[in-house]
């Protein structure tokens, strides 16, 4: 973990699809549609003022783990994050999302 990481357990409603997401302190995106919100400068700090929705642009399999690349719809920032075990990766990969 990065020394600037701040674990913050939060439940939220997805700003894209409206799904109710139960957070575990590491959750930063919707498990249903994989969209996120641009709220962190460093993981968990909630210091980013942008607040734009972040579209899942790409999912890669790296060393046996899925990694999601998000792009902010508002400012264009790009962030990468490991997928969670309950993410609907198959729906994204088959174009269902």
Average pLDDT, the chain: 91
Percent of the chain clearing pLDDT 90 (strictly above): 69
> What mean pLDDT is predicted for residues 18-40?
94
Q: Among residues 50, 87, 48, which one has the least CA distance to residue 67?
A: 87
> Quick check: 24 and 6 in contact, CB under 8 A?
no
Distances (CA, A) of 67 to 4, 59, 76: 20, 6, 19
The DSSP call for residue 70 is E
Higher-confidence position of 69 and 43: 69
DSSP 24-67: -SS--B-TTT--EE---SSTT----S---EEEEEEEEEETTEEE
Can you give the pLDDT at residue 97?
65
Beta-strand relationship, 53-62 and 65-72 = antiparallel
| Model confidence, pTM | 0.88
Can you give the pLDDT at residue 3?
59
**Three-state secondary-structure class, residue 68:** strand
């Amino acid at each position: 973990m990065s020394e600037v990481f701040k674990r913050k357990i939060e439940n939220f409603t997805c700003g894209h699809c409206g799904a109710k997401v139960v957070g575990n302190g590491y959750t930063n995106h919707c498990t249903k549609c994989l969209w996120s919100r641009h709220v962190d400068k460093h993981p968990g700090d909630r210091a980013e003022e942008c607040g734009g929705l972040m579209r899942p642009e790409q999912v890669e399999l790296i060393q046996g783990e899925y990694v999601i690349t998000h792009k902010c719809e508002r400012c264009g920032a790009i962030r990468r994050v490991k997928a969670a075990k309950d993410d609907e990766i198959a729906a994204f990969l088959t174009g269902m999302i």
